[in-house]
Amino acid sequence: MLTKKTKIFIFSLLILLGVIVLAYGAFFHSIKITTKVEGGSVSITKSEPALVKEASVGGVARDKSGKVKQTYTGESPKACST
């Protein structure tokens, strides 16, 4: 049977591991987005949280080839399109 100190240690270790995984997902995941400019196309790298926000207001969409493209030029949409 586990002692109280061992249970506290395992619980603390799991909490620490969860925080590390959340930080990794929030700060290190990114994706390339293709956007159109006057001279052609430009790739922009955005973090996952910023990309989720863009998708929720209709700012990004997948094209037929499966790449993520920005659906606007200039200033981003302010509210949800629905």
Q: Judge whether 47 lies within some domain.
A: yes
pLDDT of amino acid 25 = 76
Query: 31 pairs with which residues across the strands?
Result: 46
Q: Judge whether 20 lies within some domain.
A: yes
Q: Judge whether 77 lies within some domain.
A: no
Averaged pLDDT of the chain: 77
Q: Judge whether 15 lies within some domain.
A: yes
- Max Cα–Cα distance, the chain, nearest Å: 68
Q: Judge whether 23 lies within some domain.
A: yes
Residues listed for the chain: 82
Q: Judge whether 22 lies within some domain.
A: yes
Mean predicted confidence (pLDDT) in 48-68: 73
Q: What is the domain extent for residue 22?
A: 4-70
Mean predicted confidence (pLDDT) in 28-38: 73
Number of domains in the chain: 1
Q: Judge whether 75 lies within some domain.
A: no
Q: For the whole model, what pTM was predicted?
A: 0.43
pLDDT of amino acid 3 = 94
Residue 28 has pLDDT above 60, yes or no: yes
35-57 burial, b if ≥16 CB within 10 A, otherwise e? Answer: eeeeeeeeeeebeeeebeebeeb
